Amino acid sequence: MKYTVDTAMVMGSVHQRALTPGQDAAVADVLPDGAFAIVSDGCSSGGDTTSGAWMLAKAAARAASLAIAENDTAFLLPEILATAEHAARAIALADDDLFATLLQAIVLRDRAVVQVYGDGVIAVGFRDGTWQFLRVEWDKNTPFYPIYYTRRKTDAFLAVHDSTSHAAVYVEHITYDPDGTARRQFCTRHTVAEGMVGLILSFDAAALRDIRALGVFTDGVASLPKISWSDVMREVVAFKNTTGAFLRRRMGRVLREYDVAPADDLSGAMVWLSSDDGGGL
């Protein structure tokens, strides 16, 4: 299996007007035995979440690399949080500097996993040309940030959402046929507890054979005027080719053609899987 990866980041107009830095981070890499794509979205009302989001994304990249090398994802979150905490304490980042979501797609030797802590969008591309998009949202616009575990903020978080069993997480599922027709749309709801553990998509070896792309995007996808989040995704994944900066080129083209700019930071990271015989796009 051959992998190509790319990330794309667009600073939201809110930050541009305010002359403040964006608060997203995006990392992707190809390793000998796999690949990963990671995004993180810092809380806009947090502290220095520009730094926090990057710290979390880089920690996740390190953890993903280890997981791929060992073909083991069992300790991903503890590894991520330990690394992020170690680095954060070294430069004295405060609690609210690390309030950020984390979405990651990791492809290992014989399986893949997509994990969402917080909100955002997942993209799954199938070899038959079908795309499935999942948008994860939280009640009260209060997503879970994984750093709550190590900064002892889970109680405060739960107080916002009433209880762990409250169905505070909405996932909108949309499937597009190869011709661009939206074939299936529905919503699922998940409890706070499930959201805190992380919403997970798993693909075993058999399922992975049908997959040609896994991508994760921050919720800035839903902040473009005049175009719905699912239409944005459908356009963004309409790649002409998947070499080099394929995601950046495509996202840039979409924003130019629609003449739109996201209000919130918009970032994406994607792994493209080609079979060794050159199959794929």
Sites of contact with other proteins (CB under 8 A): 239-241, 243-245, 248-250, 252-253, 256
Closer residue to other proteins (CB): 152 or 256: 256
Q: What amino acid is encoded at 171 in this protein? A: V
Q: With contact defined as beta carbons under 8 Å apart, do 112 and 105 qualify? A: yes
CB of 168 to other proteins, least distance (A): 38
CB of 10 to other proteins, least distance (A): 12
**Structural tokens at position 117:** 């802590």
HSE at residue 21, side-chain half, CA atoms within 13 A, is: 13
CB of 239 to other proteins, least distance (A): 8
Closer residue to other proteins (CB): 171 or 236: 236
CB of 249 to other proteins, least distance (A): 4
Closer residue to other proteins (CB): 71 or 243: 243
CB of 138 to other proteins, least distance (A): 33
Cβ-based neighbours of 72, under 8 Å, separated by 6 or more: none
Residue pointed to by tokens 């080099």: 244
| Alpha-carbon span 138 to 120, nearest angstrom | 10
Cβ neighbours, 10 Å, residue 67: 23
Closer residue to other proteins (CB): 129 or 252: 252
Q: What is the Cα Rg of the chain in Å?
A: 18
Closer residue to other proteins (CB): 17 or 256: 256
Counts of helices then strands in the chain (DSSP H, E)? 8, 12
Q: With contact defined as beta carbons under 8 Å apart, do 12 and 220 qualify? A: yes
CB of 14 to other proteins, least distance (A): 20
Closer residue to other proteins (CB): 78 or 244: 244
